[in-house]
């Protein structure tokens, strides 16, 4: 199994669920994480990543970390200073239309969105609300482009788009697609030589459907045009994703693997969870399993069954521990507080 991994955690793209998979694998195999200084949750996002943002990094010592997976704005020369040169780089993408709809609800407080009632209103005159100079502009335009380290307001010429796609291809071994999450996990397992149980997951940081509404076609087209750089990234890597599956796995085997993964997840859900799945924040009984509520979204969580034996309880709890709680726990393990 490969143990050196860089995951670019793109916002609002099922990336918290992927992070949980990496946290569990790292914890099980006693790997080190490149944590943000002081145990924070983001690597000084939205600034471009620098090696010195990582707890325990020092230019003098050649110490390398196994897993880098907290939110960052990608800058490869700096990333290379903190992970082994053999590390596998991967990320996950999402259709920019749904991504922006999610971002609008989640980052409702962002300057571009604060004065509008709806996404439609924003898109009717985006330049009236969107200021390219504001520090949180990226939440409102080409968020994936921004996370990959590029300018979200860059021009969309074919030459520039090609350069951007080539740069991403040169840096990343694998780009997954959140709409095909199970297929993505099978592909990830394949590339990392991990076993099935290492990539099972329950959806984390997902919001309740009451805040989701279908978008009219006219809005969808405006969204694509407004997020044109993201759209170019997404359509290109959605295509290469399936080409890779055809080349490395084949559709028939992929179907079998996805079926096995879903069966294992269903089995774990029956074993671990009360009821049939995720519940509203107010119904989560164990406060340590309650995810951070943010913006206008209601983020769902889980209740574990009572009376599980110790080993099983631990496995189940890890599967449903929200990102911030899990990150803190692993940070304390890696950097135990010094006695006074």
Per-chain mean pLDDT for the chain: 95
State pLDDT tens for residues 114-156.
Answer: 999 999 999 999 999 999 999 999 999 999 999 999 999 999 9
Is residue 211 classed as helix, strand or coil in its secondary structure?
A: helix
pLDDT at 194: 98
CA distance 131 to 140: 10
Neighbouring residues of 24: CB distance < 8 A, sequence distance ≥ 6: 198, 318, 319
Listed in sequence order, the DSSP H helices in the chain are 15-28, 76-79, 96-106, 119-124, 126-129, 143-147, 158-171, 181-192, 217-226, 228-248, 251-272, 310-320, 323-334
Lowest mean pLDDT among 22-26, 174-178, 283-287, 294-298: 294-298
Per DSSP, the chain holds a count of helices (H) and strands (E) of 13, 4
Q: 3-state SS of the chain: helix, strand, coil percent to 5?
A: 50, 10, 40
**What are phi and psi for residue 329, nearest 5 degrees?**
-60, -45
Neighbouring residues of 336: CB distance < 8 A, sequence distance ≥ 6: none
The pLDDT of 159-164, averaged and rounded, is 98
- The pLDDT-based confidence of 209 (bands split at 50, 70, 90) is confident
Q: Are 135 and 47 in contact (CB under 8 A)?
A: no
pLDDT at 181: 97
pLDDT at 230: 98
User: Which residue from 123, 163, 146 is spatially nearest to 46, judged by alpha carbons?
Assistant: 146
User: Residue ranges per domain, the chain?
Assistant: 5-331
User: Which residue from 122, 11, 8 is spatially nearest to 67, judged by alpha carbons?
Assistant: 8
State pLDDT tens for residues 223-282.
Answer: 999 999 999 999 999 999 999 999 999 999 999 999 999 999 999 999 999 987 899 999
Residue 331 pLDDT greater than 90, yes or no: yes
In the DSSP assignment, the letter for residue 129 is H
Residue 29 pLDDT greater than 90, yes or no: yes
- Cis peptide leading into residue 46 (ω within 30°): yes
Determine what percent of the chain is predicted with pLDDT higher than 70.
Answer: 100
pLDDT at 38: 92
Kindly indicate whether the domain formed by 5-331 is annotated with CATH number 2.40.128: no
pLDDT at 22: 98
The pLDDT of 92-111, averaged and rounded, is 94
- Write b or e for each residue in 102-111: b if 16 or more Cβ atoms lie within 10 A of its Cβ, otherwise e: bbbbbbeebb
DSSP element (H, E) containing 88: strand 88-93
- How many CB atoms are located within 10 Å of the residue 278 CB? 21
State pLDDT tens for residues 273-313.
Answer: 998 789 999 999 999 999 988 777 788 999 999 999 999 99
């Amino acid at each position: 199994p490969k143990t050196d991994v860089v995951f670019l955690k793109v916002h609002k793209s099922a990336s918290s669920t992927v992070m949980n998979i990496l946290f569990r694998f790292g914890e099980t195999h006693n790997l080190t994480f490149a944590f943000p200084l002081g145990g924070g949750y983001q690597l000084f996002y939205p600034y471009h990543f620098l090696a010195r943002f990582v707890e325990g990094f020092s230019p003098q010592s050649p110490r390398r970390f196994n897993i880098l997976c907290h939110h960052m704005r990608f800058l490869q020369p700096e990333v290379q200073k903190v992970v082994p040169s053999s590390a596998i780089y991967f990320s996950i993408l999402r259709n920019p239309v749904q991504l922006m709809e999610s971002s609008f609800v989640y980052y409702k407080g962002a300057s571009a969105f604060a004065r509008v009632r709806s996404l439609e209103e924003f898109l009717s005159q985006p330049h009236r609300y969107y200021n390219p100079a504001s520090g949180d502009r990226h939440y409102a335009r080409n968020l994936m482009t921004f996370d990959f380290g590029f300018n979200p307001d860059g021009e969309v010429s074919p030459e520039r788009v090609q350069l951007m796609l080539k740069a991403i291809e040169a840096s990343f071994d694998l780009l997954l697609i959140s709409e095909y999450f199970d297929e993505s996990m099978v592909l990830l397992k394949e590339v990392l030589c991990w076993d099935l149980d290492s990539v099972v997951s329950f959806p984390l940081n997902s919001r309740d459907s009451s805040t989701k509404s279908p978008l009219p076609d006219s809005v969808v087209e405006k969204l694509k045009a407004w997020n044109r750089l993201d759209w170019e990234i997404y359509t290109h890597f959605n295509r290469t994703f399936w080409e890779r599956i055809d080349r490395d796995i084949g559709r028939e085997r992929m179907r079998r693997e996805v079926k096995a993964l879903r069966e294992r997840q269903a089995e774990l859900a029956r074993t671990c969870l009360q009821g049939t799945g995720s519940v509203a924040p107010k119904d989560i009984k164990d406060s340590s399993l309650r995810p951070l509520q943010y913006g206008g979204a209601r983020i769902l969580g889980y209740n574990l069954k009572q009376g599980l034996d110790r080993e099983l309880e631990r496995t189940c709890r890890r599967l449903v521990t929200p990102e911030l709680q899990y990150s803190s726990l692993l940070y304390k393990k890696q950097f135990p507080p010094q006695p006074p």
